[in-house]
Amino acid sequence: MNAPLPARGVVAVVPAKDEEARVGTTVAALRQLPRVEHVVVVDDGSQDQTAAVAEWTGQVEVVRHPRNRGKAAAMTTGAARAAELAPGAPVLFVDADLESSAANLGPLVDVVLAGEADMAIAVLPPQDRPGGGFGIVVRTAREGIARLTGWSPQQPLSGQRCLTRAALDAAMPLASGWGVEVGLTVDVLRAGGRVVEVPCELRHRVTGRDLASQVHRARQLADVSRALLQRSAAAGRVAGRAKQAGTRVAGRAGRLSRAVPRRGGTWHEL
């Protein structure tokens, strides 16, 4: 997974829902990046003109979900189309609301194409936060990742990520819903991948403190907690199987230690 990659481009995958006001500018910005070979927009059941706006920008692949299936499903669909467009190429996941700042994702791509990381995660500067959140989801994600992997990220929920194809395939299937970023981090690290955070000058829409925003955070917290719980349980099952295997080996070793050789070099159980 850690071998240097050939100097080629990446496929940008943009999961989008009801982003007609921003997705066009985001796609246009991505097309400015010389190492982005293809852009795939996945319209995840939008009720507005997201897909049409993306198509109007030109030089973009648009895949539509007839109904909303969630961010992880949109990313999975986009990754599958990316594999068809450029087999083996790294994938750059981009949130649809970055608008013109998406043109600043170059450093994220460069790190992966240089073979310096299997997954690079963008660290955003402080955002304008009228109201802002309370940090509960971020803290839960950061502490959960640290507990499961020993690594504590600055921005565990950053959706801007560039991965080698091998790292992405190792993390499939993706964690559901809003737990996808946390799941990706844990799974890539557990597969032996190198994960780095790279500062990027990016701007995106910030969730406020109104009722709809609080409902969104509650769903996000539930998905993040579920992703962590599933990976904690999986680790427990692996440890349990390893313990059982060790017990069987120890039992066989104990029986052999009580054996004595007979004539002819064979062994006999006492």
201 is written with which tokens?
A: 């000058």
Token pair 């990313």: residue: 75
Cα 30 to the center of its chain, rounded Å: 19
The model's confidence at residue 147, banded by pLDDT at 50, 70 and 90, is: very high
Contacts of 113 (CB under 8 A, 6+ apart): 5, 7, 8, 9, 10, 35, 90
Percentage of the chain lying above the pLDDT 90 cut: 70
| pLDDT at residue 206 is higher than 80 | no
| pLDDT at residue 103 is higher than 70 | yes
Q: Which domains occur in the chain, in start order?
A: 10-232 (3.90.550.10)
φ and ψ at residue 18, rounded to 5 degrees: 55, 50
The per-residue b/e assignment along 188-223, b for 16 or more CB within 10 angstroms, e otherwise, is: bbbeebbbebbebebbbeebeeeeeeeebbeebbeb
The model's confidence at residue 236, banded by pLDDT at 50, 70 and 90, is: low
Cis peptide before 173 (omega within 30 of 0): yes
Whether this prediction's pTM lies above 0.85 is answered by: no
> pLDDT tens, 54-77?
999 888 999 999 999 999 999 999
By the 10 Å C-beta count (0-12 exposed, 13-18 middle, 19+ buried), 70 is classed as: buried
| pLDDT at residue 257 is higher than 50 | no
| pLDDT at residue 150 is higher than 50 | yes
Q: How far apart are CA 119 and CA 99, in angstroms?
A: 23
Which pLDDT belongs to residue 245? Answer: 44
| pLDDT at residue 53 is higher than 60 | yes
